[in-house]
Structures are given as C-alpha cells and as structure tokens.
Amino acid sequence: MSVLTVLLIEDSPAQQRLVKSYLQELEGAEVHAISHGDGGPEAAKEIQPDLIISDINLPGLNGLEICRRIKDEMDPPPPIILISTLNEDEDVQRGFEAGAAAYLGKPFTQRDLLRTVNDVLQKNMLRRQQHILVVDDSAGIRKAVTAELRDAGFRVSEATDGTEALTEASRSHPDLVLSDLNMPGADGFELCRSMKADPELSSIPLVVMSASSDRGTMRRLVHMGAAAFLVKPFSQDQAVLLIEKLLDDHVLLMLKDREQAETERRMMLDTITSLAKALDARDTYTSSHSENVARVAAAIAEEMGFEEDDLEAISLAGKLHDIGKIGIPDAVLLKPGRLTDEEFELIRRHPRIGHEILSHVPSLQDAIPAVLHHHEKYAGGGYPDGIAGTEIPLPARILAVADVWHAVYSDRPYRPAMPREKALGIIREEREQGLCPQCVEIFFTLVDSGRLPTNI
C-alpha cells in the first residue's frame, strides 16, 4: 500500500501539533516535521514527500524561498501548500508566483486543510497522467517551455515541426498540443489542419504560440479549430494557467459526453427492451420468454467463464433475440396451424430483421452475432446462413440452448409446458444435432447442481 508522505515545515510547536492531528484523518499519512526554514529544501530532497505544507514566516529560509528552491532543484517538485497568517491578496499572489499549489490562511479548520490537501493531491495526480506535446523549431524555447510544464507536473514530449508532431501525436495521443506557428516544413497552420482532419486527433486541444499578435492570424487559427493562442513572449505562468484551464475544461467535457452517451444508451436499451417485451406478449403465452432466455443464456456463459462485458452482451442478445419478429405479420406469426412454405420463409427472416434493427445502435453491436445466428443448427441446416459447428459464434450457440429450453419448458397457446424430465430429454437429444455439445454439457452442469435459473 502506498503511504502518503508529507513534509511539514512549521516553527510553532503548537501549529505543528495541530496540523499533524488534522492530518491523522488521512489514513496512513506519514508526517515529517521540521521547524527551521533552512533545512526545508534538503529535507524535501531526502524524504521525497508527496506533499509539502510550509509556513511562510520561518527562521532561516521563508516559505516563499523554499518554494522557489524546491521548484528549481527537484524534478518533479512535490506540490506545496503554503500556510500563513498573511492573508492579503498580495501575499496570496506572491505565494502562487513562488510556485505554491495552494495557499491557506491561518487559522484554518481541519476541513479546510483536508479539502485543500485532497484538491492539491488530486490535481497533481491528474497532471502526472496528462501528457503535453510541445512543438517548436527553436531548441531554446522548447527546452524552456518543457521545463516549466514538467515543473507544473505534466508529462511532456517534444517535436521540432508539424510533421514530426503529427507522427508523435498519432503514436502517443497527447492530452494537449502546444505548438509554434512559424516553423520550417509543416507549420502551425498545417499541423492544425491535419489534426482536425484526423478523427483520432481532432479532439485534442491545440494551443498555438507565436510572436505575431495579428488578429487575422488568430481568427484564422481559431476558425480552423485551435483551442487558444499564446502571444510570445508569454510568462511561463500564463502558459501553465492556460493549459490547466483548457485541460480541466476538456476533462469536464469528456466526462459530460461520457455521461450523456451512457444515458442515451440506457434510454435506447429501455426502449428496445420494452419493445421486445411487447413482442413477447404478442407472440408467446408467457410474456417473459426473452427475459427467461436471457437469464439461462447468461448463466451458461458465466459458467463458461465469460468476462463481464461479454456476459452483458449475451444477456442483451437473449432479451432481444426475437426482436426481428416485429417485421412478421400477425397472420403468420400467430397462425395456430401448420405454416405453408412461404409463411415459414417469412418466419425465417426474423434473425436478419433483428440484425438490421440492432445494427443502428452502436452500443448493441456486441449482441448482434448471437441474435443473427440463434437459429443455426450445430450439425448445419439452420438459418439464416446454414453454418455449422464452431462456425456459429459461441454466444449464438449458447442462446440456442436457452431458447430451445424455454420453448419446450413453458406453456404455449396450443399446449401446456412439457414435464421437466421430458423437456430435459429434448435438450439431450438435440446435442450434436441442433445444439452445441459443449453448451449442452454446461447446461446440464447447471441443472445437476440446481443452479439453472427457474422460469419467471
């Protein structure tokens, strides 16, 4: 287990005790306390803490000087929280200028301290995961910008022009690209155009830096899709602040997108599931045929060791396997007597219709093979493709066992459910013929151990 190591630099014994007791809440935090400013940088290098909390007024080096030294001398420097009774705006400003990650005015409560510590640590962790690609033909500028971003905690890679940047971006997918505008070879415009044209790279924010503050150029870049513009010379803090802001916005946007996609998926799923239920009610005596097939198929798949995502896909396929019957007229689907050849042909279309319906829903793609092939026969001769054996996708073979089982072991309009033993006998007979032997075997493992889901 990784332990959080904190270096506390505070000359007042009472304050030291207080901060230490506040930090006890953080499980496993190990606090090293020193009371003289001069020992700060050395202690930090020796202990390599995850976090430094330092008073500003100290004997020897003060907190601001400690901040600057640590930023200069450690790579990467740990985040520093400055604490002080000085609470004027200028004091806070000076603290941030010296490189502090946060500033906490005394007196503060335990809640204030823990919230600040958590914020700082989370931000720092996020930074370390974030990767920035710096593109500039000038080695000097590249080095300066890279050093500053590394100090801020980012991972950084470099490229010398647009072409190299594009190769590097395709390889490593940075979280943000910071590029010079005028470069020999592919310049900033070209890089922007190429990134926006590549679906894999188009969502990566691109910040362009240039000596020109020409409005026309800036407008053109923003129009082309650049996220922001930095006019040289810019202060390092300006660059870091802008990048932090863009990345925070970008992360928020991605989280929002993901949330929205998940909501849409659920809504779509609910709609399709109710459709499947309505269809069950039209087609079968029990309105829970699809639900039962899904449960039995998922139980077989789980026994076979399917991973969670695959289990979800097979359960969905179970719920939706007969969705294609929506395209079959009542007169055929509900006909009590024998079907003519033409009518049977119509019935045989339902897996393909199901496939067609589901192919329009991106999140249901994994369920499609099972839906499409649930009427194939293990020995061949099923439909729609007449494939056999292991040519039939495994989820479809599993679904076929569950489908046949529920069909023979549930009440039908024209006959009551078969006795259980007789129904089990049919599954046994179909082994090797209609049904996959491996799936049948697992099915009987569940039956014998009493774990086969019962009908609902």
Question: For Fe ion, which residue has the nearest CB?
Answer: 322
Nearer residue to Fe ion within complex by CB, 161 or 403: 403
Q: How far is the CB of 383 from Fe ion (least distance, A)?
A: 10
Nearer residue to Fe ion within complex by CB, 180 or 322: 322
* 205-213, 316-324, 334-342, 365-373 -> range binding Fe ion (CB under 5 A): 316-324
Tokens for 439? Answer: 């799936």
73 and 41 in contact (C-beta within 8 Å)? yes
230 and 242 in contact (C-beta within 8 Å)? yes
* 99-107, 271-279, 317-325, 390-398 -> range binding Fe ion (CB under 5 A): 317-325
Q: How far is the CB of 369 from Fe ion (least distance, A)?
A: 14
Nearer residue to Fe ion within complex by CB, 130 or 290: 290
Nearer residue to Fe ion within complex by CB, 175 or 322: 322
DSSP β-ladder status, 51-55 and 30-34: unpaired
Nearer residue to Fe ion within complex by CB, 205 or 393: 393
290 and 321 in contact (C-beta within 8 Å)? yes
* 103-111, 310-318, 320-328, 426-434 -> range binding Fe ion (CB under 5 A): 320-328
* 85-93, 214-222, 256-264, 314-322 -> range binding Fe ion (CB under 5 A): 314-322
Tokens for 287? Answer: 């309105």
Q: How far is the CB of 194 from Fe ion (least distance, A)?
A: 48
Nearer residue to Fe ion within complex by CB, 371 or 394: 371
Nearer residue to Fe ion within complex by CB, 94 or 373: 373
Q: How far is the CB of 403 from Fe ion (least distance, A)?
A: 6
Q: How far is the CB of 418 from Fe ion (least distance, A)?
A: 19
Residue whose entry in the numeric block shows the structure tokens 């470099």: 158
Nearer residue to Fe ion within complex by CB, 174 or 393: 393
Side chain identity, residue 338:
R
Spatial CB neighbours of 296, under 8 Å, sequence gap ≥ 6? 318, 401, 402, 405, 406, 443, 452, 453
Nearer residue to Fe ion within complex by CB, 110 or 273: 273
How many residues bind Fe ion (CB under 5 A)? The answer is 1
Nearer residue to Fe ion within complex by CB, 148 or 322: 322
Q: How far is the CB of 399 from Fe ion (least distance, A)?
A: 9
Tokens for 291? Answer: 């639900």
d(Cα 43, Cα 52) in Å, to the nearest integer?
10
Q: How far is the CB of 394 from Fe ion (least distance, A)?
A: 18
Q: How far is the CB of 206 from Fe ion (least distance, A)?
A: 51
Nearer residue to Fe ion within complex by CB, 50 or 322: 322
Nearest residue to 300 (alpha-carbon basis) of 442, 189, 423, 179:
442
Among 175, 180, 302, 322, binds Fe ion (CB under 5 A): 322
* 217-225, 226-234, 319-327, 420-428 -> range binding Fe ion (CB under 5 A): 319-327
Sheet with 131-135, edge to edge strand ranges: 155-159, 131-135, 176-180, 206-210, 228-231
User: Should residue 148 be labelled a site residue for Fe ion when binding is judged by CB under 5 A?
Assistant: no
Q: How far is the CB of 173 from Fe ion (least distance, A)?
A: 42
Q: How far is the CB of 405 from Fe ion (least distance, A)?
A: 13
Q: How far is the CB of 451 from Fe ion (least distance, A)?
A: 25
* 113-121, 186-194, 254-262, 315-323 -> range binding Fe ion (CB under 5 A): 315-323
Using CB under 5 A as the criterion, which residues of the chain lie in contact with Fe ion when the complex forms? 322
